[in-house]
Amino acid sequence: MTLAIQQRMLETNQIAINYAEIDGPVDGPGPPLVLLHGGSVRWQSFSSILPDLAESFHIYAPDFRGHGYSSWVPDSYRLQDYADDTITFLQSLVTEPAYLFGHSLGGMVALLVAAQYPAGVRAVAIGDAPLSAGAWQAVLDHGRDRLLMWRDLSGGQKSAPELIEILKESPAERPGQVEPVRLQEVIGPDSPVFGWLAVNMVQNDPDMLSALLDRFEATAAGYDMPTVLPAIQCPVLLMQADPAAGGLMTDSEVNQALSLLTRGSHVKLAGLSHVFHNERKEPVVEALRAFQQAS
């Protein structure tokens, strides 16, 4: 399927939001689906599932502030800032309540949006996002060395080819080994992941990462499960990656969230890692289509 992807810019009072739009499906206008990407990437992170989703939905995929081609806004990378941008995006461009699918950071943003702008949200699917500020902090602490390196390399300080060579030599964990190895030994020296990461780094605002590393309390303010989740009245699907494969959602958090959500449901993607939609798309697309039909 050849996609007619239009990349456009929404100018708001504060920032310019870059976004992709796909007019699907071919047999008539489908319901709007807004895809919210994870931290330090951009809308193209959903490329593997776009053709399948475009068969059922009219798709919008914005870049968050500080990511991709959207504006850099130093000192304004709170979770609430991302949520405010998304609400403005919905109010400006989407003419009916939308489905939201947010992965990781995008999932946290989607929960805030659903709680704060119920008129604009029909249903929400959350892709392996930390469900509390504490869980988010734990994820960041575990990856702190990597995030520090990314911050030092982000923002166009080095070219993409330079970044690729640096990333190949960067330390990575290999299952069963105590000492780290070079990343190229884990994923192969010719992996397209290096080019993908390099372009992300060139386009990312380093201060977006400083907000996580140095200003976490302010960045995460308001992301409180007992407050946010009961305020969401639309259907919510928790899409959990496999914790044994590096998934971020824990079983205990999922159980707590389901007890707080009015219309919550859950699917566990056994054997799939945090980036499950890029690892094996079929169960992800199937889960999203079933969720659409049930909502």
196 within a domain of the structure (yes/no)? yes
**Is 74 among the domain residues?**
yes
Q: Are 127 and 236 contained in the same domain?
A: yes
Of 212, 232, 266, the one marking the end of a domain is 212
Regarding whether 121 and 13 lie in a shared domain, the answer is yes
Range of lowest pLDDT (20-24, 223-227, 269-273) = 20-24
Mean pLDDT over all residues of the chain?
A: 94
Domain's final residue, options 212, 231, 256 = 212
Name the domain boundary from 212, 241, 272.
212
Based on the fold, state whether residues 35 and 128 are members of the same structural domain. Answer: yes
Assess whether 72 and 22 both reside in one domain: yes
pLDDT above 70 coverage of the chain, percent = 98
Q: Would you say residue 181 lies in a domain? A: yes
Cα 195 from chain centroid? 19
Q: Residue 207 falls within a domain, yes or no?
A: yes
Tell me: do 81 and 114 sit in the same domain: yes
Q: Read off the pLDDT band of 26 (50, 70, 90).
A: low
Range(s) of the domain holding residue 175: 139-212
CATH code of 289's domain = 3.40.50.1820
Average pLDDT of span 8-33: 88
**Residues 211-228, mean pLDDT to the nearest whole number:** 97
The reply to whether 278 falls in a domain is: yes
For residues 115 and 13, membership in a common domain is answered with yes
Say if residue 27's pLDDT is above 80. no
pLDDT of residue 4: 87
Indicate the pLDDT class of residue 1, thresholds 50, 70 and 90.
low
**Do residues 171 and 234 share a domain?**
no
Q: Is 212's pLDDT higher than 90?
A: yes
Number of CB atoms found within 10 A of residue 141's CB: 10
How far apart are alpha carbons 198 and 203 in whole angstroms?
9
Number of structural domains (the chain) is 2
Query: Is the pLDDT assigned to residue 29 strictly greater than 80?
Result: no
Q: Is the domain of 113 the same as that of 11?
A: yes
Of 38, 33, 36, the closest CA to residue 86 belongs to: 36
Kindly state whether residue 56 falls inside one of the protein's structural domains: yes
- 148 in the same domain as 115: no
Using pLDDT thresholds of 50, 70 and 90, give the confidence band for residue 234.
very high
Q: How far is CA 186 from the centre of its chain?
A: 24
Same domain, 28 and 167: no
Q: What are the backbone dihedrals phi and psi of residue 154, each rounded to the nearest 5 degrees, phi first?
A: -80, 170
Which single residue is written with the structure tokens 């599932």?
49
Mean of the pLDDT values across residues 144-162?
95
pLDDT of residue 178: 77
Q: Per the structure block, which two tokens stand in for 23?
A: 């007019």
Confidence at residue 269, expressed as pLDDT on a 0 to 100 scale: 96
pLDDT in tens, 30-68: 899 999 999 999 999 999 999 999 999 999 999 999 999
What's the whole-number mean pLDDT along residues 57-84?
97
At residue 126 the predicted structure's pLDDT band, cuts being 50, 70 and 90, is very high
Q: In this structure, is residue 280 part of a structural domain?
A: yes
Identify whether 217 is part of a domain: no
Output the DSSP codes for 160-210.
HHHHHHHHHHSEE--TT-SS-EEHHHHH-TT-THHHHHHHHHHHS-HHHHH
pLDDT band at residue 159, thresholds of 50, 70 and 90? very high
pLDDT band at 3 (very low <50, low <70, confident <90, very high): confident
Residues 232 and 100 in one domain: yes
Indicate if 82 and 208 belong to the same structural domain: no
Instruction: Convert the pLDDT of each residue in 89-98 to its tens digit.
Output: 999 999 899 9
